[in-house]
Structure 1
Amino acid sequence: MVEYLVARDQAQDVTSSLASWRPLFSRRFLARVLVVAWASGLVVAGINAAITSKPDSTQAAAYGLEGVQAQQRGHLDEAAEAYRRALAHDPRNTLAYYNLGVIAQTQGQSSAAEDYYRAALSFNGRLVPAMYNLAILRTTQAPQEAVQLYEQAISIEPRDAVLHLNLGFVLHALGRDADARREFATAIGLDPRVRSRIPVELRPIQP
């Protein structure tokens, strides 16, 4: 199961205060997934460079790994600079765009984060963490778009309880309680621990 930047155990009910809803972050996704991805990319890029004589791909992977390491240490400006250097060598580097979005979102730069996530998705339309974080950012200003993003993510990760849970929150905020109840029931079926986060009046009746 994919681990998202927005911590699963901190899912919030957006109906209580859409305007003040803020994502809470976890470094687990970076630690367990992106370091492996960048390290693997460095090896693959090295092989490709040896075959095709394109050193830019090797350099981009090296800058990407440097960025992840800096980001894990909490040196966000240093990490962002490394990712920008990676993009200078590989303008289609999905992970560089995604991680720049993570940094911007962490620093409260929502507009920049949205742009980076959209760029990442333009090169990898199945990057569920980018959809998830973008949905978080769009919930207040464009809840219908957030619904579409969650639905798209669910089509890729249908057994992810938090995706169903958060979609239920947004649907409830839009007055679509029948749809919200369906998503909440699915979320509980996948992970019973989320029941306590659902408004009592919208919880499925226990047998």
Structure 2
Amino acid sequence: MNEAVQSALRLQTRQDFLGAAEVYHRVLEADPKNKQAWYGIGLIDQGYGRTAEARKDFDKALEADPRFTSALYSESFMLRSSDPDRAIELLGRAATIQPKAASVQLQLGQLLAEQNRDDEAERAFRRAVAADDRLLPQVPEDFRDAVRP
């Protein structure tokens, strides 16, 4: 990660979102395919409720790196209620890339369960608990017996 992006991240951490956005935009002027800058701007847009812009930003990050799991996860979270099928597809990609990412598996399981795709949900919950058994209490009760370690 380059120094300018690190600077923008520090500004973002201090909640100087305008300053961070300025730095990210400068990074993108020099490197229009910088996934970290697109992702950072997406988080800022999301924080301000600009969901359409945030989705475009996350999509730009994913154009630069289709395996960028942070962007996959963030965009899927935004789409959870408005486009659950797309959210499942994005989380599925993230889960394939990082199969031991317990939180991704848990979120995927929850989305699948909400869509009554119980067999797939059970598999995702099983992978989540296998990666981190402390997540068992977060698994919906209907699935707990099936996924106990």
TM-score, structure 1 normalization: 0.67
Larger radius of gyration: 1
Report whether the alignment pairs 1:116 with 2:57.
yes
Report whether the alignment pairs 1:192 with 2:133.
yes
What is the one-letter code of the residue matched to 1:182? R
Query: Does the 8 A contact of 1:185 with 1:204 survive in 2?
Result: no
Partner of residue 137 from structure 1, selected from 48, 65, 78 = 78
The separation in 2 between residues aligned to 1:156 and 1:183, in whole angstroms, is 14
Report whether the alignment pairs 1:168 with 2:109.
yes
Per-residue CA shift, 1:39-66, capped at 9, x if unaligned?
Answer: 3xxxxxxxxxxxxxxxxxxxxxx4x343
Misfit runs of 4+, over 2 Å:
204-207
What does 1:77-96 align with in structure 2 at a 5 Å threshold? 77-96=18-37
The separation in 2 between residues aligned to 1:84 and 1:124, in whole angstroms, is 18
Q: What fraction of aligned residue pairs are identical, expressed as a percent? A: 31
Query: Does the 8 A contact of 1:181 with 1:204 survive in 2?
Result: no
- TM-fit CA distance, 1:95: 1.1
Partner of residue 75 from structure 1, selected from 8, 16, 28 = 16
The separation in 2 between residues aligned to 1:166 and 1:133, in whole angstroms, is 11
Report whether the alignment pairs 1:38 with 2:2.
yes
What is the one-letter code of the residue matched to 1:86? V
Pairs aligned (count):
148
The separation in 2 between residues aligned to 1:65 and 1:169, in whole angstroms, is 33
